[in-house]
Chain A
Amino acid sequence: MEISINRLFNLIKRELKINQNSYIRVLIAIFFIQLLMPTAVSIGILILILMALHTFKEYFGSPSTRSQILNLPASTEEKYIYNFITAFIIYPIALAIIIIIANYTRYLVDTIFFNKLLNTVSSLSDMILGLSKQYLKAIPMLGMVFFGNIYFKKQGGLKMLLYFIGFMFVLAIINILIVYSIIGEFNIPIDLIDVNLPEYLPKIIYYLMGVFFLVNSYIALKEKEV
């Protein structure tokens, strides 16, 4: 495995520089969404996914775009890790900071211009906790996007959407089978839909799928052609 911290750092720097204008625009959009609609953190998460999609456009764009990154003197492992760090660490941190700034800005605006009182803003620790929970929920989805955009050559976004629908469909079937194994019939009475599945089960499936996508992303990147 060829991994150099220096090259990794250079890859991240290059990526952020090339797409800096897009990122600034997306972050400004998130700031205003959060400022005007304080409960819209989930929208922020969606935008985060869009940002991740944007990161990988080099991989699912035109052959000439792909050849740029594939020919760049860095190992497959470094290209994988740099994508991972950008999507799973740098973006969420940037998103969290912008959401926190937006919340405090809203608090200041409310206090100064509308004379509302202090309890409109959560404490910093509460905000970070809330954002962390959102982030954990988004990890498998980010994993899918990560995999999809590395894997698919053309129309990555569309194929990823179809893939996601397929994934939800499979999850639904697994859920139905689990319910069937518990109550013994497919015709599930409406009051049993809320049946108490073991709490860990969906989580295990969810995270196993996340790991599966991450591993596949690596294999796909290694086998990537123009």
Chain B
Amino acid sequence: MIEINNLDFSYKRNKLIINDLSLKIESGYIHGLLGKNGTGKTTLLKLISGLLFPNSGDLMVMDYIPKQRKVGFLEDVFFLNEEFDVAGLSIENYLKYNSVFYPKFSKDDFYNYLQEFEIEDTKAKLSSLSYGTKKKVIIAFGLATHSRLMILDEPTNGLDIPSKAQFRKIILRAMSPETTIIISTHQVRDLHNLIDSILIMDNGNIILNASNNEISSKLYFGVERNNEGEGNYIYSEDSIAGNTYVMENTENLESNIDIELLFNAVFQNREKINSLFNNNKK
């Protein structure tokens, strides 16, 4: 689906935002792109969607070069920017004047998604809606385009707690083997039970790219009630439940991935994580 080799990008001459990044993203999965603020997540997504042009390196998305912005490419990529602009159109008119550009667009799906988000007044002007509601409309629109690649930059920002649950439900329902979704966020809890693979970025590069299966097979996530650490944790932290920890899964135990714990483990003990995931990038 996406293949990136030795990609460099900078806004200013001397400061690389994306630095020699190589990455492969498979289709049919939901990928979570995580990272601290300012590590280049949004820049990478804009490069993938053709909104920015790389300084050097190769970038192929569905056999297209994004910077060429071919119609076929644009029809199959939907990019939800964190900050978006909606014209003073009603939801109905937004649908009418934008859906015509997407050959696979389904009006029924759009209205169904709106219903699931509990948006009923389709005559309402988008500009008069709250930020969260606008975002729901755009997410519903994006999913109804049936684009093969959905890129969502901080999609849960501005959504209330019930809407976040609805968002997860809708995204899972919209998935198909042809669809790939990349969700970038720094609110890692919002991705719980949603993503199939995790990409973690730091300093313009990917420092972890692994599927949930791979993570579960290599790492064990546990809680220790009495706080008597065994000392061989990759990372641990105190929580209300006790001492939560990540350790190497040497005994093939099953555990649920704690994304936040994994995220912190990657930053606190990068060498160990690198050695486990054969990732030589620093």
- Interface residue ranges, A against B (CB under 8 Å): 2, 4, 7, 10, 13-14, 17-18, 21, 61-65, 67-68, 70-76, 223, 225-226
Q: Which of B52, B97, B102 contacts A18 (CB 8 A)?
A: B97
Which residues does chain B contribute within 8 Å of A17, judged by CB atoms? 89, 93, 97
* From B50, B52, B101, residue with most partner A Cβ within 10 Å: B101
CB proximity of B192 to chain A, nearest CB, Å? 28
The reply to whether B85 and A72 contact each other, CB–CB distance below 8 Å, is no
- Interface residue ranges, B against A (CB under 8 Å): 46, 49-53, 69-71, 74-75, 77-79, 81, 83-85, 87-89, 93, 97-98, 100-102
Which residues does chain B contribute within 8 Å of A71, judged by CB atoms? 49-51, 74, 77-79
Given contacts A18-B89, A76-B69, contact A67 B101 (CB under 8 A): no
The reply to whether B79 and A63 contact each other, CB–CB distance below 8 Å, is no
CB proximity of A100 to chain B, nearest CB, Å? 30
The reply to whether B101 and A10 contact each other, CB–CB distance below 8 Å, is yes
Q: How far is the CA of A138 from the CA of B100 in the complex (A)?
A: 34
List 8 A–B pairs whose Cβ atoms lie within 8 Å, in order of A's numbering.
A17-B97, A18-B88, A61-B85, A63-B81, A65-B85, A68-B85, A75-B71, A226-B51
Q: Which of A2, A10, A226 contacts B70 (CB 8 A)?
A: A2
Q: How far is the CA of A63 from the CA of B82 in the complex (A)?
A: 11
CB proximity of A33 to chain B, nearest CB, Å? 25
Chain A, residue nearest B96 (CB): A17
CB proximity of A211 to chain B, nearest CB, Å? 25
The reply to whether A67 and B97 contact each other, CB–CB distance below 8 Å, is no
Q: How far is the CA of A120 from the CA of B102 in the complex (A)?
A: 53
The reply to whether A75 and B79 contact each other, CB–CB distance below 8 Å, is no
Chain A, residue nearest B78 (CB): A71
Q: How far is the CA of A76 from the CA of B49 in the complex (A)?
A: 15
The reply to whether B101 and A74 contact each other, CB–CB distance below 8 Å, is yes
Closest 9 CB pairs of A and B: A73-B74, A18-B87, A226-B51, A64-B85, A73-B75, A14-B97, A73-B101, A65-B85, A64-B83
Q: How far is the CA of A67 from the CA of B82 in the complex (A)?
A: 11
CB proximity of B66 to chain A, nearest CB, Å? 11
The reply to whether A74 and B87 contact each other, CB–CB distance below 8 Å, is no
Q: How far is the CA of A21 from the CA of B125 in the complex (A)?
A: 14
The reply to whether A75 and B69 contact each other, CB–CB distance below 8 Å, is yes
CB proximity of A16 to chain B, nearest CB, Å? 10
Chain B, residue nearest A62 (CB): B85
Chain A, residue nearest B145 (CB): A73
CB proximity of A25 to chain B, nearest CB, Å? 13
Chain B, residue nearest A11 (CB): B101
The reply to whether B81 and A73 contact each other, CB–CB distance below 8 Å, is no
Which residues does chain A contribute within 8 Å of B74, judged by CB atoms? 71-74
Q: How far is the CA of A85 from the CA of B228 in the complex (A)?
A: 74
Which residues does chain A contribute within 8 Å of B52, judged by CB atoms? 225-226
Q: Which of A14, A67, A73, A226 contacts B71 (CB 8 A)?
A: A73
The reply to whether B79 and A67 contact each other, CB–CB distance below 8 Å, is yes
Which residues does chain A contribute within 8 Å of B81, judged by CB atoms? 63-64, 67
Which residues does chain A contribute within 8 Å of B101, judged by CB atoms? 7, 10, 72-74
The reply to whether A2 and B71 contact each other, CB–CB distance below 8 Å, is yes
New A-B contacts (5) at CB < 8 Å, excluding given A17-B93, A225-B51 = A18-B87, A65-B85, A67-B46, A68-B84, A71-B51
